């Protein structure tokens, strides 16, 4: 497997480093990668190998094949994962992710608004998991080109309500 060459400058200046730290500049990530980040935090810092099919059944509905979940890597320690979870819960309870709240369920989440180009265009993001204390589902939502002139279509306003519906549907009663 060949690594994709980085487009990030070899010697970034202070402004490039600062912008990268908030997810701007040359940051590139897919929704699957973002969902895996949230799932890794939910899983005490362990990132799992993603797969598309959990179970294959024959015509009699008997299990013909079953995927065995397996760890891909440890991204952060248990303690760091818990700190991140606590911060993500506060984003939904008191911060920019309040529109992702599910009644009666503790939701952990993070909003994002990724500007691109020079006109104020932006993609709206939300990622998270629920319940925060016993995770059952992790999601990543991106609404591409949520705005083309920066009129306030942020991740918290546009993507969080979509995530809320997904989280609510995915949490067992």
- Burial (Cβ within 10 Å: 0-12, 13-18, ≥19) of residue 152: exposed
More confident residue, 121 or 165: 165
Q: What's the pTM?
A: 0.85
Average pLDDT over residues 47-51: 95
Q: What integer pLDDT is reported at residue 11 of this predicted model?
A: 75
Mean pLDDT score of the chain? 89
Return the domain boundaries, the chain: 27-45+77-170
Per-residue pLDDT at 106: 98
* CATH node for 27-45+77-170: 3.40.710.10
pLDDT tens-digit series, residues 89-105: 999 999 999 999 999 99
């Amino acid at each position: 497997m060949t690594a994709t060459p980085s487009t990030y400058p070899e010697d970034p200046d202070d402004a490039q480093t600062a912008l990268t730290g908030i997810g701007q500049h040359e940051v590139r990530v897919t929704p699957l990668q973002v969902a895996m980040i949230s799932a890794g935090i939910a899983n005490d810092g362990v990132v799992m190998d993603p797969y598309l099919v959990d179970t294959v059944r024959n015509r009699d509905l008997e299990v013909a094949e079953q995927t065995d979940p397996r760890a891909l890597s440890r991204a952060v320690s248990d303690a760091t994962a818990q700190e991140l979870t606590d911060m993500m819960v506060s984003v939904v309870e008191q911060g920019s992710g309040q529109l992702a709240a599910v009644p009666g369920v503790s939701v952990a989440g993070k909003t994002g608004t990724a500007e691109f180009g020079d006109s104020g265009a932006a993609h709206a993001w939300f990622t998270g998991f629920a319940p925060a204390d016993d995770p059952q589902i992790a999601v990543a939502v991106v609404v591409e080109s949520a705005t083309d002139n920066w009129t306030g279509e942020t991740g918290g306003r546009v993507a969080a309500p979509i995530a809320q519906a997904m989280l609510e549907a995915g949490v067992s009663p």
